[in-house]
Structure 1
Amino acid sequence: MNNVYTEILLAGIDLAWQTTKNPSAVALGKLAGDTLAVTRLEPALYGIENIRSVLAERSLHGIAVDAPLIINNLTGQRPCEKLLSANYHSRFAGCHPSNQTLYPNALSVQLANQLSEMGFQHLGSTDTPWQIECYPHPSIVEMFGLPERHKYKKGTVAERRFGQIQLAMMIKSLATSSVLKLSLPDDFLKLLDENYIADLSGKSLKSNEDGLDALICLYIAGLYQRQAGAAVYGDTIDGYIWVSTVQVASVSPVPAHPLKPRPKPIKQKQTARPKTGITEDFRNGTTQTTTIGYINKNQQRVLGTRGKPGTDHCAKAYKLECLSSNCCQRYGTNGTEIYIRKCPECQGGRPGIPY
């Protein structure tokens, strides 16, 4: 296949690991020579069928998916995740674990199997339909020459907005890349607009994040099709991750601070507080499972307790954080159920309690 003169339709998917509960985003684009032109962007798709309907383009040639496509291990990390994390841990771009205990009958694996049946081969030749599992965090580090993982998924609303604006600047810089130019139609430029992002919050902020992630996945697909420099961690038997290793653009360092300066606190007269046992700071509990940093089998991490009573008998409320990829939900739970707790956002756990 002549990659220089033939238009090649590619797709990038930011796949929610719980696709029936959380939205996924899909970006489509046509690669011609050294230019990848975005043609379609769907930032909020629920369920595999809706994703497949977007991918039902007869001429679709390659797909890059941000999700684990092959999971054979019962527990722990896949071998490819261990290898990648060993290389990128110091740059804060390691992997969360994927296994059959956390993700039984994973929808991402189902999608990959369906794509395989349609002729898309894992790490396939660029002359035939292919699919790859990608991981944007280390690829972003390499593509833009960053010292460490770019942060835009966690933090306060202001910090997440600012992180998205920085990522949008990086994506816009791809328009002049000497490796692969990214062309965006005017309809999609809103997602990269600083003023637009600065007003987002809640689901709209998350949806914009997913759209930007899908664009990164699409660009990674373009790099794969052009056979740009890359590292492959793992294999097509027990799972793999394709990471771009070529720098495609340079970005000016931007100070990592929120969009708007926080107002200076107003000094108020201190008044004595009643002794309730509740403190402002989070602290450890008295057992192993209530210690700050403890992670249970469902990848829920303890962030501590303020001493607030829980809803179980004689239990205290603890703050937990979900470590599953693309979730990061924080919520409250009783100390007595930490060891078996599941995330209420992505694992079907019970709703959180005040903490």
Structure 2
Amino acid sequence: MQDGSYAVTGRALLGEDLREEHVTIVVSGGVITSIEPCSGSSDRWIVPAFFNAHTHLGDTVAMDLPVRGSLAELVKPPNGLKHRILAATPRTELVRGMRASIAAMVATGTAGFADFREGGPDGVAALREAAAGLDCRPVILGRQGGERVSDGAGISSVHDVAGAEETVREARGAGKLVAFHAGEKNPDDIDEALEFEPDLLVHCTHATETQLCRIVDMEIPIVVCPRSNWLLGVAASPAHPPITRILELGGRFFLGTDNAMFVQPDLLQEMAFTAAVYRAPPVEILRAAISGAALAGRSGFIEEGQEAHLLAIDPRKSNLSFSNDIRATIVKRLDSSGVSRNILTLQ
């Protein structure tokens, strides 16, 4: 097709309900311009690209250090182990590490991510440098002054930082996002975070029933990070984070991978772990791995008028061709070898 347009045909997962239909999708200028039924046959699967709704990619430089300690000793600002490592690492090495992790996300089907970025304005600039030219768009939630030059404020627990009121006020005044870590190790900081009416809560691993009801009533999405929670010892049962209860209450959850220091930023692994441990319906898990794109101002789903961030999967390359449920197979079995083409058209 001319003028940078292209068409792709296959068994696609369409809309927010991820319904399977055999279609031809036409893309022009990076936007899906039409989705038409197709009577032919194609073995290709076309699915929305993923959005990793919570990362700390700077931690890549500390990957899999043999460390021990409490959650606070490892990651609490400003003097947790990760913060000391970040402060001691040359900027060029931080950029190189973040870029390598972004490339790993692209290889596993991720088209965007939301990162809590340490290091103030220079930390934000370093992540932008790391992401430059890669088909994966960052939403950067700055800290330590980085809020002023990023997409919003990525605030740790209200018990860990001073001046949250001013940070939120400035972000709101600039029309930017406000996100809080809350409820990771206990529920004690969730109510205080909710007083700020944030756009996003991360973790809520130990949210109480009352808190969950309040979060759902306020229509605040929760980013859950199951593998990180288990590895850091703040979760040890399918009740935490409370994915099943969030769904029962009609709430929204997104999937994130959290600290690259501990967990590979791979949403395919995250979905498979979540399916095995939490037994949530595969369609809900897949939706959670896509819908965080709302943080970037888009739906993330395959719909006319939406930006085209698509994955083409060739199930013939493996035993996936025997699938009786595309959505379940993507969630439980897909790995990077099954992604035959990333059609990630960024404008």
**What TM-score, normalized by structure 1, do the two folds share?**
0.26
**What TM-score, normalized by structure 2, do the two folds share?**
0.27
Which has the greater radius of gyration?
1
Q: 1 or 2, which has the higher helix percentage? A: 2
Larger relative contact order, structure 1 or 2 (CA cutoff 8 Å, min sep 6)? 2
